[in-house]
Amino acid sequence: MLFNSIEFLVFLPITFVLYWFMLNKDLRLQNLLVVVASYIFYGWWDWRFLSLIFISSAVDYSIGRKLASVTKPKARKYLLWLSLALNLGFLGVFKYFNFFVDSLKDAFHIFGADIELTTLNIVLPVGISFYTFQTLSYTIDVYKGNLKPSDDPVEFFAFVSFFPQLVAGPIERATNLLGQFSEPRVFDYHKAKDGVRQIIWGFFKKIAIADTCAVFVNDIFGSYADQSSGMLLLGAFYFAFQIYGDFSGYSDIAIGTAKLFGFDLMTNFRYPYFSRDIAEFWRRWHISLSTWFRDYLYIPLGGSRGGRSSAVRNTFIIFIVSGFWHGANWTFIVWGALNAIYFLPLLLSNRNRRNLDNVANGSLWPSFGEVRQIIVTFLLTLLAWVFFRSPDISNSFEYLRILVFSGSWLVEFSYLSSVPMILIMVGLEWIQREKTHPMQIEKLSSIARLSVYCLIVFLTIAHVSSTNQEFIYFQF
């Protein structure tokens, strides 16, 4: 079920009314409703894949309970590997099997030997990478002793399948979300109001920014061989805001929806295009994934404790794995490796943690140096996004070759129609960069606040098209 669909606009209020007005005195029934609603939400796309999320939930719940009673290190490690094998096995078959088969065939072809291997005609389950990492983090934390295993299957199934963030994150940790299902929840008007405001902002970014940019991005990337350098630069620029508006818009809608039901999800984006270097960018972009890899891959590999060589190796590993997490295509791997290369000079010079505060902290305007840093960082991300968006490696390099050498920087005026919406979004985010989301405008008068809300709603509705665009990260 899409957030930007009529079905969801019917589904959400019905679930809300049942949750707060009919089941509000029974916590277990509320949690059961969350499970049922989440399975309906997910099954609306394809009910057959409900079996995957059910099996993952059931297995990891059982393994968590078993880990509570098993003390032998070997037996505990066996249980952990069982969880890893099952969850990553599902992910490997549905998402990566064909990639490995095709890559193996290509490798043999390079050496002059053609082999016949069969690929699978399978559909990638929506959100499998997200809920797989979510339930894996639970098992790993229980194994390490950082978390007590859940003794309530309803709570655990609700945690894994919680519909607001089920298919595109944030990737929640059991240490944050699971415990919230065991706590009695009372309707909080102020939290719900803030949730609605964040939902409005999320829809604005999705519909008025991402979906409008998508039209131009598809056109430019689809005919890049016939475009000027200026048009190709514009295409990369638009894709940067398409993917940001699309993905962070989903996160805003998810977090806001969770607030309506009394839950707090982690922040997944903190205005990443205001970053002054790549390290800061990755502290602000897809935070739930980058911190997941930090905690469950980078640190277990040794982090930077083994010296610079280990730090470099582990940095490349997490960036390349992060790229591979996004999809079974060499373009994502190159995208991850390119970001690792960007990160490397900061790591080696111990400057990867120098920009921990907000840019222009305490001031309306950034300094000239900060503007330069933001522009350079943004241009580096544009280059990387070309690989992310392109269908294959050869297209990526050809796109960049034409961008650099075509010699014409002319841009068709009709392609600039999305720029005003981008400027509105960037302006509001800059002014509100110290807030969780730009719609937190309590300091304005009630009339001014209402005017801003109405403007954002109007602009969103004005850009609604007859065909809903799926969220980009559904494919991951």
Residues marked as catalytic: 326
Q: Is the peptide bond before 366 cis (omega within 30 degrees of 0)?
A: no
Q: CA triplet 416, 420, 425: central angle to 5 degrees?
A: 130
Which DSSP symbol is given to 468? P
CB 381 within 8 Å of CB 276:
no
Q: State the Cα–Cα distance between residues 92 and 471, nearest whole angstrom.
A: 22
CB 265 within 8 Å of CB 170:
yes
- CB-CB neighbours of 99 under 10 Å: 16
Q: State the Cα–Cα distance between residues 242 and 472, nearest whole angstrom.
A: 9
Q: State the Cα–Cα distance between residues 273 and 453, nearest whole angstrom.
A: 23
Pull the structure tokens for residue 397. 């390099």
The torsion of the CA quartet 368, 370, 375, 380, rounded to 10 degrees, works out to 140
Q: State the Cα–Cα distance between residues 295 and 303, nearest whole angstrom.
A: 10
Residue 110 backbone phi and psi in degrees, to 5 = -60, -35
Q: State the Cα–Cα distance between residues 466 and 5, nearest whole angstrom.
A: 11
Which DSSP symbol is given to 463? T
Q: State the Cα–Cα distance between residues 310 and 347, nearest whole angstrom.
A: 12
Closest CA to 425 of 252, 171, 225: 252
